[in-house]
Amino acid sequence: MAERLNILSKSDLIGLLREINRRGWIPNARPGNVGGVGNTLEDLLGIEENNLPIPNAAEWELKCQRRASSSLTTLFHMEPSPRALRFVPRILLPKYGWGHAEAGTRYPKDEMSFRQTINAIATTDRGFGLFVNRDEQKVVVSFDSGSAGQRHSEWLESVRVRTGLGEIDPQPYWGFIDLSHKAGSKLVNCFYVLADTKKERGQEFFHYAEIAMLETFSFQKFIATIEKGDILVDFDARTGHNHGTKFRLRQNRLPDIYEHITEIT
């Protein structure tokens, strides 16, 4: 593990990252930890979790991902507007929800679920999607009952009875201004690291192969990335608990939402 450091300049940190890149394959220092790829890098840098010892550190983060992973990256949590309506527990769950898989066992018999990960280029098999309305400056949740799959016909009939098969009314949305403030406060400049992985005799190894500096979050690129389907909205709620609505990003697409990209390796 690297020696604990005090204050570094950005050029010092870049030098350390290049040195780690040149070391090639490095054993996972945190086996069994899903965040092992980032934790191992922090150990090598001699820093606490995402606590960069550089001036203006509040403006910078260290983001490390496995290159081959298909998992989505959570950018931030944000409930849809109008927030006073509490859309998820008061509208989406009671009007469009379905029986929870563990209703009657882990949860009460009437426990409902609303779990959907939606994007702007295709609807889910229950008919939900996103639409970017640039004229009205908002990102809108849409429902198209005609896009629901046959296997959900019983659920769709229940929706018809509960609320009808037309568009959600009113539609949940996120205004551009609110989104810009939220995203701009969360998506600060970052050192972005992609690691290759391999296993030998049960031991996992990382090669921190691709390192870049991402600077100046771009809201226009953020909206364009939603339109391309690479930023998704994830609903995860049940009757007893709303786990929160998340904006999530497809793997390796983080550079798409920054103005300036400086390759380090």
Would you place residue 145 in the very low, low, confident or very high pLDDT band (cuts 50, 70, 90)? very high
> What confidence tens digit (pLDDT) does each residue in 189-230 have?
999 999 999 999 999 999 999 999 999 999 999 999 999 999
Query: pTM (2 decimals)?
Result: 0.90
Is the pLDDT at 6 greater than 90, yes or no? Answer: no
- Domain residue ranges of the chain, discontinuous segments joined by +: 83-173
What is the model's pLDDT at position 1? 45
**Cis peptide leading into residue 170 (ω within 30°):** yes
- CA separation for the pair 258, 178 (Å, rounded): 19
Q: Which residues is 115 bridged to in the sheet?
A: 236
% of the chain beyond a pLDDT of 90: 83
> What confidence tens digit (pLDDT) does each residue in 34-50 have?
789 999 999 999 887 76
What is the model's pLDDT at position 5? 46
Is the pLDDT at 262 greater than 60, yes or no? Answer: yes
What is the model's pLDDT at position 51? 72
What is the model's pLDDT at position 162? 98
> What confidence tens digit (pLDDT) does each residue in 227-247 have?
999 999 999 999 989 999 999
% of the chain beyond a pLDDT of 70: 96
What is the model's pLDDT at position 178? 98
Would you place residue 58 in the very low, low, confident or very high pLDDT band (cuts 50, 70, 90)? low
Higher pLDDT, 242 or 57: 242
Mean local confidence (pLDDT), 94-117: 96
